[in-house]
C-alpha cells in the first residue's frame, strides 16, 4: 500500500497517483454539538452552502460556527481525487484533498438571523495566512492549503473580487501573493456539490467543542479585510 511516508506532501498527486478510496462513505455526522442542527442536506429554505480550507479544520470550524447567521458547520475533505477518504489517507498527501469546513448560512430574514457570503469571506481572509502555499504555520502539506469552494456563480465572483482586494492589502503590508484556490462547484440551493466534499470522521466534528483546550492552528496576518467595492 502506498502510504506516502517518504513523499513530499506539499506536492499534489495526479489522478493516477491518488489513493483509490472507497465507494462507501464514512458514517454520517451526528447533529451539531453546539448549534444542534443537522449537517446533512437538505437544508432549510434560504440556506446557502460554501466550503473553506484554512489549514487544520478544527479551529476553522469553530471560527465559522461562532458567526451569527450560520445554520450549521461540519468538517471534511475536498478538492482532490480520492472518494470517501479517511483522515489517515488525507495525511499521506496522496488524495489531493484539503481539510475543509462546510458552512451553511441563512440568507432569509424570515428564517432567523442572517449573514452574507461577504461576512464569511471576511472571517476567512482575516482568520489565516493565505500566502503560505501548501502549509499553514507549522502544519505542512497539501491538506493544509487555503481554498474556497463556491457553489454558485455569484459566490465565485465575490470570492475572486475579495481575493484581489485582500491581496492588495496584504502586499501593502509586506506579504507575498495569495495562494488560495478558488473553485466553482455548482449545487442547487440547500444541497452539497456532488463529489466535492466528503464528511470527516465523527471525532473531528466540532472537535474544539469536545476538547476546548485542543489544538487550534489558526493565525491571521493582522491585516483587516477591506470592503469589496
Positions annotated as catalytic residues are: 56
The grid coordinates listed for 188 are 442547487
C-alpha distances (whole Å) from 21 to each of 17, 81, 153, 198 are: 12, 9, 30, 11
d(CA 180, CA 163): 8
**Conformational region of residue 17, where left means phi above 0, alpha means psi within -120 to 50, and beta covers everything else:** alpha
Pairing state between β 181-184 and 146-150 = parallel
The grid coordinates listed for 186 are 455548482
Amino acid at each position: 500500500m502506498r502510504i506516502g511516508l517518504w513523499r513530499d506532501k506539499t506536492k499534489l498527486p495526479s489522478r493516477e497517483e491518488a489513493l483509490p478510496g472507497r465507494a462507501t462513505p464514512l458514517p454520517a455526522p451526528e447533529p451539531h454539538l453546539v448549534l444542534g442542527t443537522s449537517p446533512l442536506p437538505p437544508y432549510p429554505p434560504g440556506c446557502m452552502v460554501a466550503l473553506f480550507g484554512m489549514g487544520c479544520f478544527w479551529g476553522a470550524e469553530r471560527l465559522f460556527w461562532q458567526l451569527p447567521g450560520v445554520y450549521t458547520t461540519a468538517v471534511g475533505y475536498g478538492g482532490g481525487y480520492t472518494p470517501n477518504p479517511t483522515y489517515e489517507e488525507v495525511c499521506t498527501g496522496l488524495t489531493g484533498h484539503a481539510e475543509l469546513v462546510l458552512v451553511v448560512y441563512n440568507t432569509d430574514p424570515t428564517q432567523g438571523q442572517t449573514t452574507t457570503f461577504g461576512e464569511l469571506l471576511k472571517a476567512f481572509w482575516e482568520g489565516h495566512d493565505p500566502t503560505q502555499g501548501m502549509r499553514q504555520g507549522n502544519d505542512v502539506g497539501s491538506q493544509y492549503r487555503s481554498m474556497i469552494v463556491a457553489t454558485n456563480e455569484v459566490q465565485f465572483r465575490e470570492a475572486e473580487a475579495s481575493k484581489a482586494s485582500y491581496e492588495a492589502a496584504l502586499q501593502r503590508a509586506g506579504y507575498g501573493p495569495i495562494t488560495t484556490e478558488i473553485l466553482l462547484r455548482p449545487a442547487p440551493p440547500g444541497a452539497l456539490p456532488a463529489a466535492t466534499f466528503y464528511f470527516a470522521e465523527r471525532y473531528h466534528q466540532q472537535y474544539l467543542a469536545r476538547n476546548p483546550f485542543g489544538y487550534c492552528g489558526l493565525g491571521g496576518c493582522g491585516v483587516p479585510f477591506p470592503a469589496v467595492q
